[in-house]
Amino acid sequence: MKIKKKILLVFGTRPEAIKMAPLVKEFQMNASDFDTRVCVTAQHREMLDQVLEFFEISPDYDLDLMKPGQNLYSLTSTIIESLKPILEEYTPDYVFVHGDTTTTMASSIASFYSGAKVCHIEAGLRTFNKLSPFPEEINRQIAGRVCDYHFAPTSTSKENLLKENIAEQTIMVTGNTVIDALFESVIRVKNLSNPTVDSIKSKLKDGQEVILVTSSRGQKLSILKS
């Protein structure tokens, strides 16, 4: 009997969910090789749920940690404590985390404690200024020290990891999974019917199309129509 590798994907914010969705789907399509489970911390609640609904992802574990007045101290400790029983019960071979959130940092530490191999998606982004962005720069550096496998989006990210003495054989340049998510979203908007997609379609007039724009940290955007 073939022994499946046990995979746990952990994420908690909307950006993480968008970029991890293609990976979740890929593992699920290869169920003969992988026993895949999804854990969400819900560091973002409503925004996370929007993405889960759109990509039709049903978490196996929902820590539901978002609280009013949430701070980094309580969030970090609660993620580690809440993941402990899941890691002990499921005993994953590999845990996948993404990017530079507090969920990523705390989950990588908890997974390291459990003995699982930790895999970092979107690894190697750096400003080399621990206060900018805060706390993300330190989150991704900590994850980079803990993780066993590093999936870098660009060659520049790979070079950043090599400068930190990360073994080259543990680094793979993969591109950014947000592009895979974008392609999947185009298919879903065109072909699938769910409340989110129907809501978008109902607001479009004949001939109108959807433009996807992403922004972070209050960046100013200008959209020009020719």
Considering only CA atoms, which of 12, 9, 39, 40 is closest in space to residue 26? 9
The reported pLDDT for the residue numbered 144 is 96
Q: Looking at the predicted structure, is the pLDDT value of residue 129 above 80?
A: yes
Number of domains in the chain: 1
Q: What is the dihedral of CA 35, 65, 77, 73, to 10 degrees?
A: 140
Considering only CA atoms, which of 120, 138, 118 is closest in space to residue 129? 138
Which two tokens mark 63? 């820590």
CA 218 to chain centre: 21
> Does 188 map to a domain?
no
Q: Within the chain, how many helices (H) and strands (E) appear?
A: 8, 7
Q: Where is average pLDDT lowest: 132-136, 142-146, 200-204? A: 200-204
The reported pLDDT for the residue numbered 68 is 83
The reported pLDDT for the residue numbered 38 is 98
Classify 197 as helix, strand or coil: helix
Residue type at position 30 = N
Largest CA distance in the chain: 61
Q: What are the pLDDT digits (tens) for 36-47? A: 999 999 887 888
> Does 206 map to a domain?
no
**pLDDT, the chain, mean:** 89
* Phi and psi at residue 70, to the nearest 5°: -60, 140
Q: Looking at the predicted structure, is the pLDDT value of residue 73 above 80?
A: yes
Considering only CA atoms, which of 52, 47, 43, 57 is closest in space to residue 99? 43
The reported pLDDT for the residue numbered 111 is 98
**What span, in angstroms and rounded, lies between the C-alpha atoms of 168 and 149?**
10
> Does 183 map to a domain?
no
Beta bridge partners of 7: 36, 94
> Does 145 map to a domain?
yes
Instruction: Output the domain CATH number for residue 17.
Output: 3.40.50.2000
Taking residue 51's Cβ as centre, other Cβ atoms within 10 Å add up to: 23
* Phi and psi at residue 214, to the nearest 5°: -115, 145
Residue type at position 141 = Q
> Does 159 map to a domain?
yes
Taking residue 163's Cβ as centre, other Cβ atoms within 10 Å add up to: 11
Which ranges in 10-71 belong to alpha helices (H)?
Answer: 14-29, 46-55
Domain hosting 142: range is 5-178
Q: Which of 19-23, 68-72, 190-194, 202-206 has the highest mean pLDDT?
A: 19-23
The reported pLDDT for the residue numbered 45 is 85
> Does 197 map to a domain?
no
Strand pairing category for 117-121 and 61-62: unpaired
> Does 190 map to a domain?
no
- Up-side HSE of residue 28: CA atoms within 13 Å toward CB? 15
> Does 85 map to a domain?
yes
